[in-house]
């Protein structure tokens, strides 16, 4: 029995049943979905909310006086308020809807960094980053003459705050890092790093793609300047996410795309721009996506983020113990503070072959470099297999994974 009250009320089987796709079969076997870090599945309530919007309320937003347009606008702006509450942003003016984490980071690189950076200025990243938090900075460095610097990782897959302290200097303009590593699961101390960066006058962007599904994020407590995340990793639809930005910074940034909705007036001589957050939302937005994102937040709230976190941490402990007992298996990324993500290799079997054999057993894991090639380089592996857990994961999924790994070892023995 688990004594923790939050956990003891958590019924993983019931949660699992909320996700229609999870009861399908794959290759004649029950699906065991352990690839939620790439994209999580959607509960029936999210699917129904999007369906209801499409069937009953769809029209373009912000522009119409007719009933449907007002309903769609209300639902879209309600979604913005739900996103604000979800991460405790100071105001809905700070909540910009984007296509997701990647677009949010590119927005900051092009609209905040590009006009400000000068030759020799430094952008500080970490060795843990997803390509989405590397390439936009390389592009802007090329455009401005700025330099990308990297805080190294250690053999457990952690970054040392002392290294941040050493590498942040008076030339550092931007410090950008993941809240949680997608490849290894490592959780970074956002508040501490932000304080160090702010003390030297740098602006902080946090890639929250892998944090928001697993733990409560309070942006006013964390204090970072920009925070990016995607709905599809937190039980919502694809093609929608958010950039949360400090209002004073967003207000001073030029628009990043031009078009409808982001303007107040347009003439061929001069265009004036809309207020925040609309200044950064050119064109017709992903309205049904926003509705789905709000429904995903409602769903998370219905389970309780704390209960989800406890459940996943328990699974992480069990999975780590059971996987460590598999002969020839090495876990890559052993930081004490991890989200429920386990990267591993199995002696004598390439991760891609492993992924294929596991799939024949109905077990879906991700194999490859996880869009984090520098992490693979650091550990000297071309790829890993990665099992990632979500609110709907069950202990039996871990047993199915371990059994399928046994089959893979037999095939290759
Ligand atoms: C840590 C991290 N950052 C950024 C991204 C990119 O997210 P998206 O493809 O939704 O823009 C991902 C997706 O895997 C991720 O895990």
| Domains defined for the chain, CATH in brackets | 5-43+304-408 (3.90.1150.10), 47-301 (3.40.640.10)
Does ligand 1 lie within 6 Å of residue 102's CB atom?
yes
pLDDT at residue 351 above 50? Answer: yes
Dihedral sign of CA atoms 330, 333, 339, 345 in order:
negative
- Report which protein residue has its CA nearest ligand 1's atom 16: 182
* Cα gap 50→41, rounded to integer Å: 14
Question: Using a 6 Å cutoff on CB, does residue 40 contact ligand 1?
Answer: no
Nearest ligand 1 atom, CA 181? 1
* Spacing, Cα 130 to ligand 1 middle (Å): 7
Q: Cα–chain-centroid distance for residue 92?
A: 20
Ligand 1 in reach of 186 Cβ (< 6 A)? no
100 lines ligand 1 (CB under 6 A): yes
Q: Which of 37, 184, 210, when mutated, tests ligand 1's pocket best, judged by the most ligand atoms within 8 Å of its CB? A: 210
Q: Is 310 in the pocket of ligand 1 (CB under 6 A)?
A: no
Within 10 A of 38 (CB to CB), how many other CB atoms are there? 16
Residue 348 has pLDDT above 60, yes or no: yes
Q: Report whether residue 153 contacts ligand 1, using a CB cutoff of 6 Å.
A: no
Average pLDDT over residues 66-92: 98
Q: Which residues are catalytic?
A: 371
**Cα dist. 204→170, 245, 269, 306, 320 in Å?**
14, 10, 36, 26, 32
Alpha carbon of 303 to ligand 1 centroid (Å):
24
Nearest partner of 342 among 350, 328, 332, judged by Cα: 332
> What digits encode the pLDDT tens for the residues 223-265?
999 999 999 999 999 999 999 999 999 999 999 999 999 999 9
Question: Which of 145, 150, 49, 44 lies closest to 392, judged by CA?
Answer: 44
Mutate to test the pocket of ligand 1, among 230, 241, 333 (most ligand atoms within 8 A of CB): 230
Query: What is the structure's pLDDT at 64?
Result: 84
What pLDDT does residue 9 have?
Answer: 77
Q: Are 231 and 237 in contact (CB under 8 A)?
A: yes
Q: What is d(CA 15, CA 391) in angstroms, rounded to the nearest whole number? A: 7
User: Ligand 1 within 6 A of 296 CB?
Assistant: no
Cα of 313 vs centre of ligand 1, distance in Å, is 21
Task: Specify the pLDDT at position 369.
Answer: 93
**Residue 344 bridge partners (DSSP):** 331, 385
What is the biggest distance separating any 2 CA atoms in the chain, rounded to whole angstroms?
Answer: 73
- Predicted local confidence at residue 2, as pLDDT: 42
Q: Is the CB of 230 under 6 A from ligand 1?
A: yes
Model confidence at 60, pLDDT cuts 50, 70, 90, reads: very high
Interatomic CA distance for residues 210 and 341, integer angstroms: 10
pLDDT of residue 3: 44
- Indicate if the pLDDT at residue 359 is higher than 70: yes
Q: Is the pLDDT assigned to residue 8 strictly greater than 70? A: no
Q: Is 111 in the pocket of ligand 1 (CB under 6 A)?
A: no
User: What average pLDDT does the chain have?
Assistant: 96
pLDDT of residue 222: 98
Let me know if 119 is exposed, middle or buried by CB neighbors in 10 A (0-12, 13-18, 19+). exposed
Q: What is the pLDDT of residues 13-45, one digit of tens each?
A: 999 999 999 999 999 999 999 999 999 999 999
Centroid of ligand 1 to alpha carbon of 68 (angstroms)? 33
216-234: pLDDT as tens digits? 999 999 999 999 999 999 9
pLDDT band (50, 70, 90) for residue 6 = very low
- Residue pair 387/319 in contact (Cβ under 8 Å)? The answer is yes
Segment 279-300 shows an average pLDDT of: 98
- 9: CA distance to ligand 1 center in Å? 31
Cα–Cα distance measured from residue 20 to residue 302, given in angstroms and rounded to the nearest whole number: 18
What share of the chain in percent tops pLDDT 90? 97
For atom 7 of ligand 1, the residue with the nearest CA is: 101
Q: What percent of the chain has pLDDT over 70?
A: 98
Higher pLDDT: 7 or 394? It is 394
Which tens digits make up the pLDDT trace of 366-383?
999 999 999 999 999 999
Which residue in 232, 194, 191, 187 sits closest to 211, CA to CA?
Answer: 187
Q: Taking Cα atoms as reference points, which of 362, 353, 359, 351 lies closest to residue 329?
A: 351
Smallest CA-to-CA distance from 225 within 242, 241, 247 is with 247
Taking 90 as the threshold, does the pLDDT of residue 165 lie above it? yes
Whole-number Å distance, alpha carbon 181 to ligand 1 midpoint, is: 10
Q: Does residue 277 have a cis peptide bond before it, meaning omega lies within 30 degrees of 0?
A: yes
pLDDT of 413 reads 85
């Amino acid at each position: 029995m688990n004594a923790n009250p939050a956990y003891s009320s958590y019924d993983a089987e019931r949660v699992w049943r909320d996700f229609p796709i999870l009861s399908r079969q794959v290759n004649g076997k029950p699906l065991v979905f352990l690839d939620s870090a790439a994209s999580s599945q959607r509960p029936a309530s999210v699917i129904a909310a999007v369906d209801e919007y499409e069937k009953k309320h769809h029209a373009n937003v912000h522009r119409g006086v007719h009933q449907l347009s007002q309903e769609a606008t209300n639902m879209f702006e309600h979604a913005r308020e739900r996103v604000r509450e979800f991460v405790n942003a100071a105001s809905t003016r700070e909540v910009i809807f984007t296509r997701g984490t990647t677009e949010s980071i590119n927005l900051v690189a092009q609209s905040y960094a590009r006009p400000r950076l000068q030759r020799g200025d430094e952008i500080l990243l970490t060795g843990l980053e997803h390509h989405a938090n590397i390439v936009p900075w390389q592009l802007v460095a090329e455009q401005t003459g700025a330099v990308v610097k990297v805080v190294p990782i250690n053999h457990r897959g952690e970054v040392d705050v002392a290294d941040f302290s050493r590498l942040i200097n008076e030339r550092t303009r931007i410090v950008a890092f993941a809240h949680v590593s997608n490849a290894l699961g490592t959780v970074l101390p956002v508040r501490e790093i932000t304080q160090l960066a702010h003390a030297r006058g740098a602006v902080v962007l946090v890639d929250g793609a892998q944090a928001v599904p697993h733990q409560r994020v309070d942006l006013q407590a964390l204090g970072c300047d920009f925070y990016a995340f995607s709905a599809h990793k937190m039980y919502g639809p694809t093609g929608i996410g958010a950039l949360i930005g400090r209002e004073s910074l967003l207000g001073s940034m030029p628009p990043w795309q031009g078009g409808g909705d982001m303007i107040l007036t347009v003439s061929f001589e001069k265009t004036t721009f809309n207020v925040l957050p609309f200044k950064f939302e050119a064109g017709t937005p992903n309205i049904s996506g926003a509705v789905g994102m709000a429904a995903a937040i409602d769903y998370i709230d219905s389970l309780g983020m704390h209960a989800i976190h406890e459940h996943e941490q328990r699974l992480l402990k069990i999975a780590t113990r059971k996987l460590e007992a598999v002969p020839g298996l090495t876990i890559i990324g052993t930081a004490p503070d991890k989200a429920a993500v386990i990267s591993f290799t199995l002696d004598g079997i390439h991760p891609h072959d492993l992924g294929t054999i596991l799939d024949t057993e109905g077990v879906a894991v991700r194999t490859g470099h996880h869009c984090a090639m520098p992490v693979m380089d650091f550990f000297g592996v071309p790829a890993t297999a990665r099992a990632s857990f979500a609110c709907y994961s069950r202990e039996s999924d871990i047993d199915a994974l371990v059994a399928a790994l046994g089959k893979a070892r037999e095939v290759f023995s």
